[in-house]
Amino acid sequence: MNNKYKGSTVSSGIAIGPARVIRKSEPGNAAPVAMMSEPDRVEAELVRLEQAIEATKIHMDKMVLDAGVKAGKDAAQIFLMHKLVLDGKEFRNLSRICIEDGQMDAEEAVRQTSEALASKFDEMEDEYMRARADDVRDIAREVIIALHEGIDGSDDPQKEYPHILLTRSILPGEVMELDQDNVLAIVTVEGSTTSHAAVLAHMMDIPMIVSVPIDLDAIEDGTPIYVNADVGEVIVSPDVDFIEQAHRSSDPVRSALLGLKGCETVTITGRHIDLYANISSVVDMKKAMENDAEGIGLYRSEFMYMERLEAPSEDEQFAVYKKLLNMYKDKVLTVRTMDLGGDKLTPYVDPEGKRGLSVSLAHPDIFRVQLRALVRASVYGQLRIMYPYVTNAEEVVKANSLFAEVKWALLSEVGSVSIPQGIMVETVDAVENIDALIPHADFISIGTNDLTCDIYGVDRFSAVEGAIKDDYENLFAMIGRVVYKAHNAGLSVCVCGEIASRREYTSRLLDTDVDCLSVAPAEILLMRDHIINNCR
């Protein structure tokens, strides 16, 4: 064992693979361009700057969507903040001054501006604020790429083989552009655990260690690298004996759970339970796959709509659904149509006090785009859709009718596709109207978070436990009623929400005869172990 280094852990995990070293050249100070002071040259550079900034803002919209899909809402917020910087005056005005008074071209003006702004953060005492300097540099990087008409002169970290990425530093946009299937871990010489690049790596579940005092020039591409981000350790060219010992010393509890991968989820009495996962991003999908989920019981599609100034296009949504279906091709993917309203607000949809399906029906143009994207993607896997926060049969009939119109319009493109349509029961009204709802559904999903709040008269932001005086007896009674009615009609019932993950209540849930539990990806193997060994 040799060449052992320590750093600061950003995102935990263990990985071993060949090195991929990114050697970035530092941007130099370009000499003033001859004749730059001439009005026509100045004007030409100002025009280039404005066009590049506007192009970057458009690209940032895509980055917001990509970040939300890959890593969730908080990741999208990072790039929304980047766009707000571009929308502001300081970055633009300082760049213009550099062109007008400093006789610089647009590229050098952007570099000088970013360094001037970034240096203000670099000088701050607070580590979190210092880390914001990289955000400014990332914005400048995107603008310079736009100035070069999309040609980035930096080395491309994406390769077609799994690797450990080693680099001096990495920016948020560069993290978001990484191929998650091939980047096994990230090691940086510089960097902070509070940088947005670090935050994104954590959200994307990529093991990452920063501030590692490693000589990049001494490492060739392909050199074996061992990364243990659990303890902040990097080993260059580890020997075989060390690797075997590292595997033997892994967590025995985790190893036992991993032994359940591929096993059927059955109770002590032999009853099979479908064990699905709830996801919001591609990262969640990868975790669901790694933990052997039997399907996806809930994909929260509304996160594609949030943190944006306009609704995602049909092609943008199609690409996301297609990717998810291709990732888990032999398993069911259940997409919840956009669940807007309540605490999920966007600037382009006015919920008018409504929630879920009723909001979608009030905005048929936006809803139709989502349905078209779903139908087009359905040919790539086993897709199901379900309507959120349903309260009455009339709205389900309207939704089914609109869906039928979309399928007919796309018949020549995708053929006659079969896509089950389900409903989410999340209110007392829906439970009471279940007889009227069932004839219009192919399956039922019970969202216990909202249903619990409705039953016990609390909101999602209150301490729910203090309001529960009957140990959830009323909730389980309503679940049992829905399951009984659904089974009589030949429909399956899945339960998603917090109660589905709480193993102290699993036996009571299964006593209601539910067919499926849909839980967080990290809970899959724990729940399988509990059902196999403790539930009848």
Mean pLDDT of the chain: 85
Domains delineated in the chain: 4-22+155-250 (3.50.30.10), 39-147 (1.10.274.10), 267-534 (3.20.20.60)
- Calculate mean pLDDT across residues 497-509: 90
Cα 158 to Cα 177: distance, rounded to the nearest angstrom: 8
Helix or strand holding residue 322 (H, E): helix 314-327
User: Cβ neighbours of residue 41 under 8 Å, at least 6 residues apart?
Assistant: 33, 35
The whole-number pLDDT of residue 179 equals 81
| In the predicted structure, residue 29 carries a pLDDT above the cut 70 | no
Q: So what's the pLDDT on residue 151? A: 42
Residue predicted with more confidence, 37 or 514: 514
Stronger pLDDT, 394 or 113, i.e. the higher one: 394
What does residue 194 show for φ and ψ, rounded to 5 degrees?
Answer: -105, 5
b (16+ CB within 10 A) / e for 335-371? bbbbbbbbebebeebebeebbbbbbbbbbeebbbbbb
Residue 75 — pLDDT band, cuts 50, 70, 90? confident
Q: What is the pLDDT of residues 416-451, one digit of tens each?
A: 899 999 999 999 999 999 999 999 999 999 999 899
Q: Which whole number is the average pLDDT over 396-412?
A: 96
What is the pLDDT at residue 188?
Answer: 92
Of 120 and 295, the one with more pLDDT: 295
Average pLDDT of 71-89? 79
Scan for tokens 């006593």, then name that residue: 511
- Confidence (pLDDT) at 246: 62
Between the ranges 141-150, 289-298, 343-352, where is the mean pLDDT highest? 289-298
Q: Is 273 left (phi over 0), alpha (psi -120 to 50) or beta?
A: beta
**Residue 131: which of 60, 210, 53 has the closest Cα?**
210
**8 Å CB contact between 236 and 223:** yes
Question: Could you tell me which residue, 403 or 207, shows the higher pLDDT?
Answer: 403
Predicted local confidence at residue 23, as pLDDT? 77
Would strands 516-519 and 224-228 be described as parallel, antiparallel, or unpaired?
A: unpaired
Q: What CA–CA distances, in Å, run from 38 to 31, 41, 43, 99, 104?
A: 16, 5, 9, 11, 12
- Rounded to the nearest 5°, which phi and psi values hold at 23? -110, 100
Buried b (16+ CB within 10 A) or exposed e, 457-488: ebeeeeeeeeebeeebebbbebbbebbebbee
Global pTM? 0.67
Contact 257/525 with Cβ under 8 angstroms? yes
Residue recorded with tokens 């909730």: 475
Angular region, 457: left φ>0, alpha ψ -120 to 50, beta rest: left
pLDDT of residue 385: 97
Q: What are the C-alpha distances in Å from 205 to residues 25, 200, 296, 441?
A: 28, 8, 19, 36
Average pLDDT (465-478) is: 85
* pLDDT > 70? residue 34: no
Edge to edge, the sheet with strand 183-188 lists: 4-6, 233-236, 224-228, 14-22, 163-167, 183-188, 208-210, 8-11
395 token code pair: 């709205």
| pLDDT score of 394 more than 80 | yes
User: Whose CA is closest to 291, among 46, 47, 527, 45?
Assistant: 527
Tokens matching residue 89: 């005056």
Residues marked as catalytic: 196, 496
- Is the pLDDT at 31 greater than 50, yes or no? no
HSE-CB for 531 with a 13 A CA cutoff: 28
- Return the SS3 of 273: coil
Report how far apart, in Å, the C-alpha atoms of 310 and of each of 11, 53, 270, 423, 452 are: 32, 19, 50, 26, 32
